[in-house]
Structure 1
């Protein structure tokens, strides 16, 4: 659940930090956000193909309006595609948090909750972890730097991580294939590649990832298209190279996921800092971004690790 929208100061003034070293849990990536002032008008939540763990820091508690009339306070876990339709918003003042993007392949092992349990929605961390959630918040609040917060979060994820795989190996391979192909994969061909029937792939994938494989491919494809739009590429080119039938198809897909037109999505403030908070995976000269196994798409290039402000 990456913060977006106006208010809370110019996103250029946000405190955005990245860990200096990779974490111990494969398929988990984190960033720190400090948003000064008040989030006037709320921050739009744009869908992403990952399970989001948002750990609040400090005395100020954010509120998430899920678009269905329910408001959730405190640290949360959100399923892949959370924010679909563009109605989900976050509110608060002087917000600070550590946000973890988890591959759906490892989410259950790390969090003790399956993507299925929060598919398309969210859960308050207090309800899932009980008193542990309050202890984590207190520890993060006492940390004196982003690096210390990242170290605490990394230790937490490693401690909670189950040694068993959370999904079938074939499901993990299917997810990795969808990510590596940026969503441009035929589900029937994917089933054949795994040696499964299409029905079996649909059933197992949906039960363990939280959405059908076709929907996962659409979400991954949208994520890449959105970042290309923000990078300044024209909608016609993004559509033709991104697996859409035409520009109208891209328009409909972006509208369905965000409630916004492609031109408006290209100006979303959260996407302007996404490449800083979530640097792209490795790139090859001829193939572009390549995700590691068990991971998920990320934004563009860039790397930032900043000290905490006013701590």
Structure 2
């Protein structure tokens, strides 16, 4: 969950916990967030190249609206490009998991990608197991215990789930390795598929079509480069945008703000603390 809301020193609003070491599955990152603001916090959730699972461990004061009139209180799962999703909460206590789409397909089930990556509940995807997992997380108090519970649940689901097709996984890794700067036709040729077949199979298993997925990976890299102090012109030139206007359009489309605003966005400071090893960069 990223907040694009320009609140002062967003990183200072949260107590953030991360696992002590790498988890048992590649392509998975976890972090715990506990709000330290007395006032409600507004969260415009910015697309990220991973599927997000958020488990509300507080008093149910976190509400998320998908922009289409559907509101979920508490825990939820979001796909790669949840446009228009906005959250609001007070005294938030939340565990978040970011899953590479390669892992998410097995852990959450192919039905999630086929749902267009819209917001759903964990219970919708996992049924009684989702309920039991949430109950165990609520009963645990130490973050390391909570991370261990989630890791065990993910491993169980991954071992029994249906893995993504090797060709789709290969294409995703190519997108990540090249920071989104790849042509769909070339990727299709590399795996021996037609462009149409790659488009269809990738879309059904990842939740976005290949072109949009590549744009999302590139946008995320651009956002972090901008936050690191690089100029928009330099970022556009170095990571494959046609020009600065092209960068501007992509940033506006994904984040809803200008590159200048992204460069000062406090939500990226939270990213650096919570997600030092991005899930989507995993080779999984």
Displacement after TM superposition at 1:238 (Å): 0.6
**Counterpart Cα distance in 1 of 2:77 and 2:210:** 21
Unpaired segments ≥5 residues, structure 1: 282-289, 295-311
Contact between 1:16 and 1:32, CA under 8 Å: does it hold in 2? yes
Report the equivalent of 2:164. Answer: 167
Displacement after TM superposition at 1:4 (Å): 4.6
TM-score scaled by structure 2?
A: 0.92
User: Is 1:248 aligned to residue 245 of structure 2?
Assistant: yes
Report the equivalent of 2:78. Answer: 78
**Counterpart Cα distance in 2 of 1:253 and 1:39:** 32
CA-to-partner distance for each residue in 1:278-300, whole Å, 9 max, x for gaps? 1146xxxxxxxx93312xxxxxx
Unpaired segments ≥5 residues, structure 2: none
Distance 1:164-1:120 versus aligned 2 partners, 3 A rule? closer
Distance 1:172-1:158 versus aligned 2 partners, 3 A rule? same
Displacement after TM superposition at 1:138 (Å): 2.7
**Counterpart Cα distance in 1 of 2:4 and 2:247:** 21
User: Is 1:95 aligned to residue 85 of structure 2?
Assistant: no
SS of residue in 2 equivalent to 1:238: helix
The number of residues matched between the two structures is 284
Distance 1:133-1:7 versus aligned 2 partners, 3 A rule? farther
Q: Equivalent residues in 2 for 1:37-52 (5 A)?
A: 37=37, 40=40, 42-52=42-52
Contact between 2:101 and 2:206, CA under 8 Å: does it hold in 1? yes
Distance 1:261-1:15 versus aligned 2 partners, 3 A rule? same
User: Is 1:205 aligned to residue 195 of structure 2?
Assistant: no
Q: Answer 1 or 2: which has greater helix percent.
A: 2
CA-to-partner distance for each residue in 1:166-191, whole Å, 9 max, x for gaps? 21111110011101110011111111
- The list of structure 1 runs, each at least 4 consecutive aligned residues, that deviate by more than 6 angstroms after superposition, is none
Displacement after TM superposition at 1:155 (Å): 1.1
Displacement after TM superposition at 1:9 (Å): 8.2
Question: How large is the RMSD of aligned CA atoms in angstroms?
Answer: 2.3
Displacement after TM superposition at 1:163 (Å): 4.0
